[in-house]
Amino acid sequence: MKLRLSRFPWAVVVPALLLIGIGLLGISSSDPHGGLTRDQLKWLGIGSVGFLFTALFPYRLLERLSYPLYALHIVLILAVAVGGVVRNHSKRWLDLQFMMFQPSLTMKLALVMAVASCIACSRKLKRPQGLMLPLVLAGFPAALVKLQPDLGTALTYLPVPLVLLFAGGARKRHLAGLFAIALACAPLLWFFAMDNYQQDRVKALLFPDDMRQTTAYQTTHALYAFAGGGLKGLGYGEGAQTHLGWLPEPHTDFIFAVIGEEWGLWGAGLVLLLFGLMLLALLEVAANTRDPFGRLLVLGIGTVLAVHIVQNCGMNLGLLPVTGLTLPFVSYGGSSLVNMLAGLGLIVNVALRPMPVFASDISQDQ
């Protein structure tokens, strides 16, 4: 299939570029020495190469590589368990000398491709057993990542097969039954899957006044940042919570609070608006894609983006427990930015290669 540049998804790419720019401003504001900003620019350059590769490499060939890429990431996650680097009591990274690589992040794209390929080729989606393989594909790496421990990242894998099964045509009653089973098993997550510090984060969400100086400290100061910013914000570089050191991890987990304090409600609202426009445009790309694998690929990447956006903004606003999930395109982090740009490239790839369905379309593409 030939590229059709007239179909370039500007409505997806332009918001992403603006969010990257906003993120660089937020990082530079919380980074007086400039080292983090330079690193982020370096990763932006590397991510741009990844974006071009995933945008131009025929995605139908990637479908053939989906299971090998998935298997490779399983091996890499197991390698983390054996020889990974420990930071903040978690073993999540491989030291590649020139960078710290987090396989659990890039696993998200590999998982999306594997599940999309599985569902696109399945002839058993109307049967209950047709749900099993996509769920296993997500559940196995989720269990491995939970052991790092990184429950927040592990939980981001699970919505992918659910959304893609729904979009792929699975029966709603089967999905409803699956949801009911998950809801009934939710208490088991508390007792058998969550460590004490993770339980404390849930308690801090429910009883913040009792834990303001301990587990709820981050969320408390994030809310102070939003309150201090008001409608118009305190101005670039003027955030008290950030520059007096009261807001932890201002360049990564809580960069949305930095934006809220320095840019105010208008700035935070602009970020949410850009994310909303991006996700709507992404849905339009999926709706205009005739190829089942391409459509599911776009929806899977959109699911990962939406989970990150909701979780990160929710924890900044005290609506969800604190996790280590970054704000896509905005937060500091090489693995995160490169991974998100690669996903953006795949969306562009699908948009530029509509699957021909009519004879006239076929003749034009040959």
Q: Report the amino acid identity of residue 40.
A: Q
pTM to 2 decimal places: 0.92
Place of tokens 């590649």: 96
Asked if residue 228 is part of any domain, the answer here is yes
What is the dihedral sign for C-alpha 268, 274, 275, 276?
positive
Count of domains for the chain: 1
Q: pLDDT tens across 30-57, in order? A: 887 888 999 999 999 999 999 999 999 8
CB of 130 closer than 8 Å to CB of 120: no
Distances (CA, A) of 323 to 5, 50, 200, 296, 339: 39, 27, 12, 27, 19
Look up the domain containing 340 and give its range.
5-353
- Phi and psi angles of residue 192, each rounded to the nearest 5 degrees, phi first: -120, -15
State whether residue 31 is helix, strand or coil.
coil
CB of 338 closer than 8 Å to CB of 47: yes
Asked if residue 359 is part of any domain, the answer here is no
Q: Write down the H helix ranges in 147-254.
A: 151-157, 159-168, 172-188, 196-206, 217-229, 240-243
DSSP character for 191? I
Asked if residue 313 is part of any domain, the answer here is yes
Asked if residue 109 is part of any domain, the answer here is yes
Per-residue confidence (pLDDT) for residue 2, from 0 to 100:
60
* Residue 283 scores a pLDDT above 90: yes
Asked if residue 363 is part of any domain, the answer here is no
Asked if residue 265 is part of any domain, the answer here is yes
The 10 Å CB-count burial string (b at 16+, else e) for 341-360 is bbbbbbbbbbbbbbbbeeee
Confidence of residue 366 (pLDDT cuts 50, 70, 90): very low
Alpha carbons 238 and 196: distance in angstroms, whole number: 36
State whether residue 363 is helix, strand or coil.
helix
Between residues 98 and 183, which one has the greater pLDDT? 183
Asked if residue 360 is part of any domain, the answer here is no
Compute the residue count for the chain. 366
Written as six digits, the tokens of 1 are 């299939």
Alpha carbons 293 and 58: distance in angstroms, whole number: 12
Per-residue confidence (pLDDT) for residue 364, from 0 to 100:
40
Per-residue confidence (pLDDT) for residue 188, from 0 to 100:
84
* Residue 10 scores a pLDDT above 70: yes
Per-residue confidence (pLDDT) for residue 354, from 0 to 100:
66
Q: pLDDT tens across 147-192, in order? A: 888 888 998 999 999 999 999 988 999 999 888 988 888 888 888 8
Mean pLDDT along residues 201-211: 88
Question: Which neighbouring-strand residues pair with 87?
Answer: 90
Distances (CA, A) of 118 to 71, 153, 294, 355: 14, 22, 12, 19
Asked if residue 364 is part of any domain, the answer here is no
Written as six digits, the tokens of 166 are 């729904």
Closest to 341 measured CA to CA, from 95, 53, 34, 3:
53
Which positions ≥6 away from 38 have C-beta within 8 Å? none
Mean pLDDT along residues 210-237: 91
Provide DSSP, 79-127: HHHHHPEEETTEEEEEE-SS-EE-HHHHHHHHHHHHHHHHHHH-S-TTS
State whether residue 305 is helix, strand or coil.
helix
